[in-house]
Amino acid sequence: MRRGYITIQGGHRVGIAGKAVLEGGSVKLIRDITSFNIRIAREKQGTADPVLPLIIQNGLVANTLIIGPPQSGKTTLLRDLARKISYGSKALPAKKVSIVDERSEIAGCVGGIPQKDVGPRTDVMDACPKAEGMMMMIRSMSPEVLITDEIGRTEDGYALEEAIHAGISVITSVHGRDIKDITRRPLLSRILQSGVFHRYVVLTSSPKAGTVAALYDESFKECRERMRC
């Protein structure tokens, strides 16, 4: 609650607004709650079908950053990518997937058990800070693909680099309207300048959530012919 939300069964998230109580300069708790924002976690299988071919490079999953504003389908897409990659297909053999689900939204775990279908070869670290969870997964679960949501802190970048140096493919997301929006953010600049990502997928909610608005390569060059990026 001190982060402004709680996650309930099914992976649904309830945002909270009210009076923040500080201790040592940090939020200790929220009281005098005045409003809620309920976000329903919808599982839409097939969302990843048009996206997965765009992020396969030389038979492997390219390190990918998914960019989009709130409610553009980022988490829904991450969940379905995990499912598709874990099950495998003709285009991509099944892979071992690790999800670091800090807000319990991707897999919607209850008692440690995913309530959403994230695939048979997927391990989930639930309710764990991203950077710490990524390092734990790298050291203990030997994933081939690592998936997490909403990066932004400096320590997230270090953990991503550690994963990539270990030969692990990374798929993650960030809030943003477009590629220019995220490149202007100081907290993201080090992560982007390190060149860890090979694909940037920009989502929009029009005409529906999960629509791919643009695709960029590692040089931030837009791929006009998306299948040849």
Q: What is the pLDDT of residue 225?
A: 66
Q: What is the pLDDT of residue 197?
A: 93
What's the pLDDT tens digit per position in 109-118?
888 899 999 9
Average pLDDT over residues 194-202: 91
* C-alpha to C-alpha distances, 157 to 58, 83, 190, 205, nearest whole angstrom: 24, 25, 8, 27
Among 19-33, 62-76, 153-167, 176-190, which stretch is predicted with the lowest mean pLDDT?
176-190
Q: What is the pLDDT of residue 84?
A: 97
Q: Give the residue from 117, 115, 118 showing the smallest Cα distance to 95.
A: 118
What average pLDDT does the chain have?
91
| pLDDT interval class at 226 (50, 70, 90) | low
Q: Buried (b) or exposed (e) across 93-113, using 16+ Cβ within 10 A?
A: eebbbbbbbbbbbbbbbeeee
Q: What is the pLDDT of residue 133?
A: 96
In the predicted structure, residue 16 carries a pLDDT above the cut 70: yes
Which domains are seen in the chain, by residue range? 5-39 (no CATH), 52-228 (3.40.50.300)
What's the pLDDT tens digit per position in 138-151?
999 999 999 999 99
| pLDDT interval class at 227 (50, 70, 90) | low
